[in-house]
Amino acid sequence: MFVRKKKNNSGVVSVQVIDKSSGKYKVLKTIGSSCSDTEIETLYQQGLDYISHYEGQQSFDFTVQDFKETVKQSIRNISIEGVHLLLGRIYNEIGFDTVCNDLLKQLVLVRLSHPASKLKTTQYLHRYFSINIKEDRIYRYLDKVYSDHKETLQQISYHHTKKILGGIIRVVFYDVTTIYFQIDDEDDLRKRGFSKEGKHQNPQIVLGLLVGIEGYPLAYEIHEGNKFEGHTMLPIIDVFKDKYDLDKLVVIADSGLLSSSNVKELQEKGYEFILGARIKNESKAIKEEILALNLKDKSSAIIPRTDGTNLIVGYTDRRAKKDRHNRERGLMKLEQRIKSGKLTKSSINNRGYNKYLQLEGDITIRINHGKFEEDAAWDGLKGYMTNTTLSKEEIINNYGQLWKIEKAFRVAKHDLKIRPIYHRLQKRIQAHITINFVTYKVYKELERQLKLKTDKMSPEKAIDIAKSIYAIEISDPKTGNTFKETLLLNDEQKHLAKLFDF
C-alpha cells in the first residue's frame, strides 16, 4: 500500500492511496487534488496518515466458516485507554511526570478512576489496564514516596498553580480535617482527639491543607491525631512563605482556627488575615453594637476592635432563613428527646442547641423558649476578623471562597476515597496522603480545563466517560503485525475525545 501522485491532463495532481496486495493496482481512496505544490504535499501526508490508520483496522474474511475463531485469535488485548488519554495527559501537563517513575502515575490514575486499597489497586491495574504490578513492589515504593518525593511534588503543584493564577499567589486558604482509623491502639501518629467526623473513639490523624484561589492545592502537612487544630496553621504557613520567598500573604481561615495566640502571632509575623469571627463571644459592648446595626440584605458594617483588628459584620436574608431553619429543627429534636425521656442532667451544656435546655427543680428538664427567641436576633449575621486594608466587600468575597477547601476535603474523602487507610506504618500513611495530594491536583486541573472549555460536564462525569473508552490490540492474520485502535463508540465518548483532542 502506498500514496500515489497522479498528474491529470488538466495539470491537476490527484493524491490517491493505492493497494497492490492482490497483484493489481486498486485505488482505495482519493485524498484530494490540487495544482499547488504545498497543498499536494499536505494531501500526500494525509494519505500516509490514512494508510497508518487503515492498516490499524482489522480486516476479516466473512465468508470463512471459522470467522469467529479468527477474530478471537486476532485480538491480543482489550484495556481501558480513556483514563490515560485524559488524566494521564493532564498529569504530564502539570509536570508530575518529571519526578518519579511510571509507578506513581499509575497509582494516581487508578485512584482517580478506581479508588481502592493497594491490594485491589494491583487487581484493577491488571483487570482494566493490563498492567501487571506486584503488591510488594507498590509497598516498597510507598516506603520512599514521602521521604523522596513529597517536597518536589508540592513544588510542582505550587509552580503550576502559580502559573494558572497569573504568576502570583497573594491569598491562601487554610483548613484542617481529621481522618480516622478503624483500629483500637494508638501510636506516635494515630491518636484519639477531637474528631470532625464524630469518631472520637477511633485513633486519627489531623490533615492540614493549604490552597490558593479556586481551591488549587499548594501544600499539606500531617499531624498527630490529638493536636489542637489551631496549632497546625502557623507552622505550615511559615514554611510555605519562606520556601517560596513570599513577601505579603493574606491568610484566610474559619473560626475554628481563631484563637488569641494565633491572631497575635499572625500580627507579629506581618501576615494579613481574614478569620471567621465568633460574634456571640465578643464583649457585651460589641454584641450590643452588632445587634443595633439593623442591617439589610447583603449589607455590612465595620466595628473596630481594641487589638487593632476590625470586625466586619455582614447580613443576608438567605443566611437568616438558613439559621432560622436550623434553630427550629434543633428545637424540634430537643422536644422529641424530652418526650422520649432520653435527656438527663448531663445533656445540659452549651454544645449546639442543648443551650436551650434548663433544669427545673431536681428532676424536670424543659426548653427555655425565651433563650430560643433571643437567638433569632442573630439570624443572618456573620462576622469576619481582619487586619487587611481590603474593602468590606472584598473581605466577605474572599472569605466566601473558603468553602472550596471544604469541597477539597469532601472530594478527597468521598470521590478519591482517602479513607479508610489500610496502612499501619507511619511512612506508608504519609505516602498514601502524598498520592492523594497529587491525585487531587490532577482532579482540580481537569475541573479547571472543563471550565475553560465552557463545558458543563463535571470532573466525575468526564472520568466516568474516560473509563468507558477502551482500546483493542489486534494482530493482522495476514502479516502478523500488531496494531492498537482506540474505540469511540458513542456520542459521549466522541464528545470527550473532541473536547480534549485525543
Cα–Cα nearest to 383, from 307, 315, 288: 315
pLDDT tens figures, 314-337: 999 999 999 999 989 988 888 887
List all residues 6 or more positions away from 189 whose beta carbon is below 8 Å from its beta carbon.
205, 222, 224, 225, 426, 429
Residue 58 pLDDT: 45
Please count the helices (runs of H) and the strands (runs of E) in the chain.
Answer: 17, 16
Is 50 exceeded by the pLDDT of residue 136?
Answer: yes
Question: CA-CA distance, 305 to 273, in Å (whole number)?
Answer: 15
Looking at domain 169-295+302-311+384-421, what is its CATH homologous superfamily? Answer: Transposase Inhibitor Protein From Tn5; Chain A, domain 1 (3.90.350.10)
Instruction: Evaluate if pTM is beyond 0.75.
Output: yes
Cell 491525631 -> residue? 225
Most confident among 92-101, 396-405, 463-472 (mean pLDDT): 463-472
pLDDT at res. 492: 95
When pLDDT is cut at 50, 70 and 90, the band that residue 72 belongs to is low
Tell me what pLDDT residue 154 has.
93
Average pLDDT over residues 170-195: 88
Contact between 309 and 388 under an 8 Å Cβ cutoff? The reply is: no
Residue 162 to residue 174: CA distance in whole angstroms: 17
DSSP tag of 87: I
The better pLDDT of the pair 410, 56 is held by 410
Residue 460 CA from chain centroid, whole number:
10
Strands 272-277 and 250-253 come out as parallel
Range 209-220 average pLDDT: 92
Which pLDDT score, from 0 to 100, does residue 378 have? Answer: 94
**Domain boundaries of the chain, sorted by first residue:** 1-56, 169-295+302-311+384-421, 320-377
Which residue has better confidence, 356 or 176? 176
Q: Which residue has the higher pLDDT, 70 or 272?
A: 272
Does residue 23 have a pLDDT over 90? Answer: no
Q: What is the per-residue pLDDT for 21?
A: 67
Distance CA(171)–CA(226), nearest Å, equals: 28
pLDDT tens figures, 32-50: 888 878 778 888 888 887 7
In this predicted structure, which of 25-39, 230-244, 487-501 has the lowest mean pLDDT? Answer: 25-39
- Residue matched to cell numbers 487593632: 308
Look at residue 111 and tell me whether its pLDDT is greater than 60.
yes
Mean pLDDT of all residues belonging to the chain? 86
Residue 158 has pLDDT above 50, yes or no: yes
Cis peptide preceding 420, ω within 30 of 0: yes
**pLDDT over 60 (residue 57):** no
Q: Which helix (H) or strand (E) holds 303?
A: strand 299-304
pLDDT of 15 over the 50 cut: yes
What would the pLDDT profile of 254-269 be if each residue is shown by its tens digit? 988 878 888 889 999 9
- Return the top range by mean pLDDT from 258-267, 472-481, 493-502: 493-502
What is the pLDDT averaged over residues 287-305? 95
- Number of residues written out for the chain: 502
And the C-alpha cell for 149?
518525593
- DSSP reduced 3-state for 476: coil
List, for residues 328-365, the tens digit of each pLDDT value: 998 888 888 777 776 665 555 556 666 766 656 555 66
- Per-residue confidence (pLDDT) for residue 271, from 0 to 100: 93
Rounded to an integer, the average pLDDT of 11-32 is: 82
Instruction: Give the confidence band of 67 by pLDDT, cuts at 50, 70, 90.
Output: low
Please give the average per-residue pLDDT across 278-283, as a whole number: 92
C-alpha cell at 242: 519562606
Q: What is the pLDDT of residues 194-203, one digit of tens each?
A: 887 778 888 8
Pairing label, strands 75-80, 470-475: antiparallel
At residue 308, does pLDDT exceed 70? yes
